[in-house]
Homo-oligomer: A and B are copies of this chain.
């Protein structure tokens, strides 16, 4: 775990914030280098699949030219939902480091734990830069309620 990569995921979350999307960002790291960066664009793209994690996995598969992201870790600002946790498993990602916990949809411990369910096991660790990851989301919803977005 290297905190600089969670900071990079937070930078992605900020990009989502700026365009009025729920601010969640993700990066995928291999051999100590970021190979994919993405942020949530569900509203902009009008597509249910466009969570940060899914877009990052899509980019990483294209970059590496294969569906197995062996030796790759993901850093993401919010605990992944079942879709994203499932995609992380499908892509054979080894470690997931996430920021804030999501008690409504988090699938690495909060609503269920998919990390050890299937043949490929993922090691998931939460609470990395938790406060910053959580704060940007709270700020977004505060703004949304004030109808500033």
Contacts and interface: CB of A to CB of B under 8 A. Distances in A.
Given A47-B61, A58-B47, A87 B83 contact: yes
A67 B42 contact: yes
Interface string A6-44: 000000000000000000000000000000000000110
Given A83-B86, A104-B118, A105-B118, 11 more contacts: A47-B58, A47-B67, A48-B91, A49-B49, A49-B54, A49-B61, A82-B89, A83-B83, A83-B87, A105-B119, A112-B114
**Secondary structure dominating the interface of A:** loop
Interface of A: 42-43, 45-51, 54, 57-58, 61-62, 65-69, 81-87, 89-92, 104-105, 107, 111-112, 114, 117-119
A84 to B, nearest CB: 7
A48 B57 contact: yes
A85 B58 CA distance: 18
Nearest to A60: B48
